[in-house]
Amino acid sequence: MKLFTFPTAPSPQRVHIFLLEKGVQIPFEFVDLQAKAQLSEAYRKINPRCTVPALVLEDGTVISEVISICHYLESTYPEIPLMGSNAKERALISEWDHRTELESLLAIADALRNKSDAFQGRALPGALDVEQIPELVPRGIARINGFFEILNEQLGDNQYVAGSAFSMADITAFVSVNFSRWVKVQAPEELIHLHRWHRDISRRPSVAEHRKLCNG
């Protein structure tokens, strides 16, 4: 098993923190997104989607969606469950993880990739070259701010995003809140529940270890 990754990017961050929470180590190889290594012929042979992360299993199977990678790892390393311990927990964690990806991560990506010069002609990740649509930038910003309010309300009644236990939903939301800074959006100070939660997650050993990985 081997993970192809670029740990400073949001999607790989989710997998790395997931692994660190579980205390699991697997071999990994960096794919330098800044050098567009994900578009190289060598990497296309590994993952034709030209995205990271990609988990290659011992039999050659490639898993290239974050949530699918984490489901595989959860089944393989069930200790310290991060996807829930019963049907209700699994449903709520799945719901909030999906909502965060759809309503926040994708909104941030829209705002970033449709504005930055670095993404001219590359407005979507993957193998296709897609032109930017500047009109999507303000819509993305509005969606980010709207989701922050939703997340704050959810955290007013819960210690963690999907309830009383830390889970994959927290990892995705934490990465999302940090990723929003890439488009110069931060949660307003009055969203006190969100900020309380973010401080708590920031202190977790897995987050500190991930910072070391990114800086090392």
pLDDT of 216 above 80: no
What per-residue confidence (pLDDT) applies to 215?
Answer: 85
Residue 64 covered by a domain: yes
| Angle between helix 10-22 and 66-76 (nearest 10) | 10
Q: Strand 2-5 vs strand 54-56: parallel, antiparallel, or unpaired?
A: antiparallel
Contact 74, 90 (CB under 8 A): no
% of the chain with per-residue pLDDT over 70: 100
Residue 162 covered by a domain: yes
By residue range, what is the domain housing residue 166?
87-204
User: In terms of domains, do 147 and 123 share one?
Assistant: yes
User: In terms of domains, do 58 and 145 share one?
Assistant: no
Asked if omega into 138 is within 30° of 0 (cis), the reply is no
pLDDT of 125 above 90: yes
User: In terms of domains, do 103 and 60 share one?
Assistant: no
Cα–Cα distances in angstroms (integers) from residue 134 to residues 128, 131, 138, 195, in the given order = 18, 10, 8, 30
Q: What is the pLDDT of residues 86-111, one digit of tens each?
A: 999 999 999 999 999 999 999 999 99
Residue 82 covered by a domain: no
Among 45, 76, 107, the domain boundary falls at 76
User: In terms of domains, do 170 and 110 share one?
Assistant: yes
Residue 216 covered by a domain: no
Residue 26: which CATH number?
A: 3.40.30.10
What per-residue confidence (pLDDT) applies to 152?
Answer: 98
Mean pLDDT of the chain: 97
Residue 36 covered by a domain: yes
User: In terms of domains, do 72 and 108 share one?
Assistant: no
Angle at 184 between CA 110 and CA 103, to 5 degrees: 40
- Mean pLDDT for 26-38 is 96
User: In terms of domains, do 98 and 71 share one?
Assistant: no
Q: What is the pLDDT of residues 158-189, one digit of tens each?
A: 999 999 999 999 999 999 999 999 999 999 99
Cα–Cα distances in angstroms (integers) from residue 95 to residues 11, 88, 99, in the given order = 18, 11, 6
Residue 181 covered by a domain: yes
